[in-house]
Amino acid sequence: MDIKIPKLSIGEITAELPIIQGGMSVGISLSNLVSAVAKEGGIGVIGGADIGMLEPDFGKNFKKANERALRNEIRRAKQLSNGIIGVNLLMALTDINELIEVCVEEKVDAVFLGAGLPLTVPKTLIESKNTKTIVIVSSGRAVKVIFRHWERHHGRIPDAVVLEGPLAGGHLGFKYEQLNDEKYSLENLLPEVIEQVKVFEDKYGVKIPVIAAGGIYTGHDIYKFIKMGADGVQMATRFVATHECDTSEEFKQQYINAKKEDITIIKSPVGMPGRAIRNHFLQEVEKGNKTPFSCPWQCIKTCDYKTAPYCISLALTNAKKGKFSYGFAFAGANVYRINKIVSVHELMEELKTDYIKAAEDDLKNG
Ligand SMILES: Cc1cc2nc3c(=O)[nH]c(=O)nc-3n(C[C@H](O)[C@H](O)[C@H](O)COP(=O)(O)O)c2cc1C
């Protein structure tokens, strides 16, 4: 049987594999991981939020430090690979517009916008011929709201949609009570998002790829969501457990050690729930203990830094550096299944083999 894994086309750009490595901010997905994924035929995505935290002037010049670090990482990723490179940015960032400008200037292939509805975005991105805009949503309703806003205010629609379901790692676009409600599973949300996107595809006569994300772990999972009508998948947790991932060895070790019962939902200072690995730091937060901090800039619009029990930016920076007494790791719901670190090449080969096996089994079973 000659089974082919479909490519993923977003407008005129085409990835050989329908696999996007989800952006992971605060230093987890940088040029090393991103270029390795792009070289393998997937789409590598730099996590752009607080990317400048290791720059020497981050403490007093955070916007400039972020812009500089983002520019450097994009350039380095492009030097290391000819593949497709994107940047993930949170709408809730106070420097979102400046960081989008860097992406447009550096001609990244795609900007992924999440954590808040990507309604108003800079004109340069709307008009860019080089940079696609991909919006991250958690419902069909969000597609309708965003696309209608874009039609009215920007005279065009976004280029692709990532549907991030409740099993994803990091901040989640759901209410706490929705996270365990079957109605909001990725499997149940995907058809409504595809249907909503189709309204706009028909209207404009263009293909708008829908990418499924959250808890996707094997090639079998990829096959399942593509069979359901997704054009590709976005995966993040599995890419953390690779040699190329830009985070510390201690961070990766947290992934290997995590058991199912260690995975928890936190109430992030950002104002959204987030999935993370429970540790002593988070247990102290749960008990109501605060880590005092000063906030010279407020990096997240929605962060109530005066009442927040800790600084999320600092906690995630500490985790990136491996200092887990002062931080914690975000992770997807399937992190407990990880038991070793592999290369991005090995991971991609495993996913491809498993995809083909799932497709063959499906054909055999009719
Ligand atoms: C450590 C970590 C950091 C993340 N950071 C971001 C981020 O900065 N922006 C974002 O939109 N999504 C972020 N995510 C979500 C991923 O991009 C991805 O969509 C999601 O985790 C997919 O689910 P999976 O991890 O089960 O594959 C993060 C996920 C993880 C595990």
Task: Transcribe 3-46 into DSSP letters.
Answer: --PPPEEETTEEESSSEEE---TTTTS-HHHHHHHHHTTSEEEE
β-partners of residue 225 are none
Q: Is the pTM of this model over 0.85?
A: yes
Residue range 42-54: mean pLDDT, rounded: 96
pLDDT value at 65 more than 90? yes
| 162, pLDDT greater than 90 | yes
Pure H helices in 155-227: 186-204, 219-227
| 172-206 residue pLDDT tens | 999 999 999 999 999 999 999 999 999 999 999 99
Q: In the predicted model, is pLDDT for residue 63 greater than 80?
A: yes
How far does the centroid of ligand 1 lie from the alpha carbon of residue 121, in Å?
22
Positions of CATH 3.20.20.70 in the chain: 8-247+341-361
Read off the pLDDT band of 305 (50, 70, 90): confident
Q: 86 falls in which pLDDT band (50, 70, 90)? A: very high
Q: How far is the CA of 325 from the centre of ligand 1 (A)?
A: 22
Q: Does any ligand 1 atom lie closer than 6 A to the CB of residue 173?
A: no
> Is the C-beta atom of 273 inside 6 A of ligand 1?
no
How far apart, in Å, do the first and last CA atoms of the chain sit?
14
pLDDT tens for 223-233 read 999 999 999 99
- Ligand 1 within 6 A of CB of 158: no
Question: 48-52, 287-291, 341-345: lowest mean pLDDT where?
Answer: 287-291
Domain at 8-247+341-361: CATH code: 3.20.20.70
Between 292 and 66, residue with greater pLDDT: 66
| Calpha distance 366→363 (Å, rounded) | 5
48 lines ligand 1 (CB under 6 A): no
Residues 354/223/137/22 CA torsion (nearest 10 deg): 20
Q: Is the pLDDT of residue 1 over 90?
A: no
Q: Quick: pLDDT tens for 18-40.
A: 999 999 999 999 999 999 999 99
